[in-house]
Structure 1
Amino acid sequence: AAQEEAEIAVIEAYLPKQMDEVAAKAAIAAVVKELGASTPKDMGKVMGALK
Structure 2
Amino acid sequence: MGNDYFKSAEIVEVIRITVTEGTGMSKEDPIKEVVQYWSKDGKFLFKTELFAC
TM-score (norm 2): 0.23
Whose strand proportion is higher, 1 or 2?
A: 2
Q: Which has the larger radius of gyration?
A: 1
More helix per residue: 1
Structure 1 length-normalised TM: 0.24
